[in-house]
Structure 1
Amino acid sequence: MNKNISLSKAAIIAGIGLLIMTLTVPFAEFKIIPDLVNRDSATETATNITNNIFLFNIAIFLIYITIVADIVVAWALYVFLKPVNKSLSILTAWFRLLYTGVYLMAVTNLIKVFTLIKGSSYFLENSPEQIAEFVLFYIKSYKYEWFFGLVLFGIYLILLGFLVLKAKYIPKIMGWLLIIAGLGYVIGHLKVFLYPEINTSFSMFTAMGELVFMLWLLIKGSRIKEIQID
């Protein structure tokens, strides 16, 4: 199947997948969920989600779109970089798929929140305060599991960066930007587990490397000529 996909088409598919994620992730992860969750008040969080359950479900739906896009991007970039080093390209793709699997498992916590909110009548032995505590617990579990996955995603970006550095048809600056972005993800999200007191806000800026690569894929990558693969 891969033989029927040109490098230019693979670049376009990967670029579109990344573009979709730049639309879904900010709304779900940085707007909807933060607006509904108060990490210091379980009762307020449960009330907000109960009163805005449709919006909460939209966030879950957007995350699932992101996960599907992640899978497509992993495949498309494998095809796009296979001429460089097939084995390393496969390993890189698997790291993105591994991250995607962790992300998918993390989302099950949000499904549990939905179940608690919609099925509160099944938990009559629990007080509303206890149910609210469960809701906040699952929300926090979702975030921590996702952050763990983002460490794997950082490793993926580092591997991707090395592949790009070896590719004669991609500017080397793209490889360095991806490696820097990957290091930012690893350092920034290990903070939660290993060094919570250290300020790693710089990782917000290093992540821009992936966006630059996305633009390159859509603008320049779509014009790449075919390369003979052994």
Structure 2
Amino acid sequence: MHPSINDAPQGQLLAAGLLYLGIIGLGISSEVLLRGPLIDWTDSTATTWAIATGESRFRLSLGFDLVMAGFDVTLAVMLFHLLRGVDEMWALMAMAFRLMQAAVIAANLLFLVAAQDAIKIGADPLPCLRMHAAGYDLGLAFFGVNALLMAGLLCNWGAPRLFAWGIAAAGLVYLAGSLTRFLAPEWNAAMQPAYLVPVLAETALMAWLLWRGLRPA
């Protein structure tokens, strides 16, 4: 008999939900609100000026990504602890792929530092920023595999099937995004709206973990 969500300590569920909340909030804030508006992929001069005049904002986005990676490592270990009784091998693989994603994304932050250094010496920052964007998609390939493994674990843990299927769909979107980025870039732009699926699926899972952690015993 597999352990279920009902056997999990509420404090750990709450902690997992809070970590997920932090990861989603930091990731969206960093990429969409802070760094994204500074980058014009078609205009190196405008991008250089925006980053130079908004240096503190750019650095804050880098800090947010670094904290997000730390939260991801912590959440990976916590989810392994919660789900290892369902299937230890699958839980271990899920943790390993999530840790790989965090490692790639954290190492990839060096390209943001390189972009700042390029600006200081009068060079074009866009090549470094493009490498960072590609590296981020590379990290999401590992996260896509993690999501597919997590979907199976969640199903057997007693999570609502809708949430588990949503995480599986998110995994497929991440994998498709990464594969098209590197193997079929002409299709990559067309599938960008599909990233709404992971946002909704992971937000729903985060809210469910918070609810299970906060509800009266």
Shorter-chain TM-score above 0.5: yes
Letter of the 2:161 partner, please give it: K
Matched residue, 1:149: 139
The alignment's TM-score, normalised by the length of structure 1, stands at 0.84
- Who wins on radius of gyration, i.e. which is larger? 1
Letter of the 1:11 partner, please give it: L
Distance in 2 (CA, whole Å) between partners of 1:146 and 1:204 is 14
Aligned to 1:60, what secondary structure does the other structure show? helix
Map 1:38-77 onto structure 2 (within 5 A): 38-77=40-79
Aligned to 1:220, what secondary structure does the other structure show? helix
Aligned to 2:191, what secondary structure does the other structure show? coil
Matched residue, 1:191: 180
1:161 equivalent to 2:151? Answer yes
Matched residue, 2:211: 219
Matched residue, 2:104: 102
Matched residue, 2:34: 32
Identity value in percent = 23
Gaps of 5+ in 1: 1-5, 121-127, 226-230
Q: Deviations over 1:28-79 (max 9, x none)?
A: 1112222111111112211111111111111111111111111111011111
Among 177, 182, 188, which residue is 2:171 paired with?
A: 182
1:173 equivalent to 2:162? Answer yes
Contact 1:98 1:152 (8 Å CA) reproduced:
yes
Matched residue, 2:191: 200
Distance in 1 (CA, whole Å) between partners of 2:89 and 2:26 is 31
Deviating runs (4+, > 6 A) in structure 1? none
For residue 171 of structure 1, report the CA deviation from its aligned partner: 2.2
Matched residue, 1:23: 25
Distance in 1 (CA, whole Å) between partners of 2:85 and 2:91 is 9
Q: 1:7 to 1:80 in 2, by over 3 A?
A: farther
Contact 1:10 1:79 (8 Å CA) reproduced:
no
For residue 202 of structure 1, report the CA deviation from its aligned partner: 4.3
Aligned to 1:200, what secondary structure does the other structure show? helix
Q: 1:224 to 1:157 in 2, by over 3 A?
A: farther
Gaps of 5+ in 2: 1-7
Matched residue, 2:129: 139
Distance in 2 (CA, whole Å) between partners of 1:55 and 1:70 is 23
Contact 2:14 2:212 (8 Å CA) reproduced:
no
Contact 2:137 2:177 (8 Å CA) reproduced:
no
For residue 206 of structure 1, report the CA deviation from its aligned partner: 1.7
Contact 2:167 2:201 (8 Å CA) reproduced:
yes
The alignment's TM-score, normalised by the length of structure 2, stands at 0.88
Distance in 2 (CA, whole Å) between partners of 1:116 and 1:200 is 31
Distance in 1 (CA, whole Å) between partners of 2:81 and 2:10 is 10
For residue 224 of structure 1, report the CA deviation from its aligned partner: 9.8
For residue 173 of structure 1, report the CA deviation from its aligned partner: 2.4
Contact 2:97 2:143 (8 Å CA) reproduced:
yes
Matched residue, 1:123: none
Distance in 1 (CA, whole Å) between partners of 2:110 and 2:47 is 18
**CA RMSD after TM alignment:** 1.8
Q: Number of aligned residue pairs: give it.
A: 207
Q: Deviations over 1:72-121 (max 9, x none)?
A: 11011111112211221111111000011110111110111233345x3x
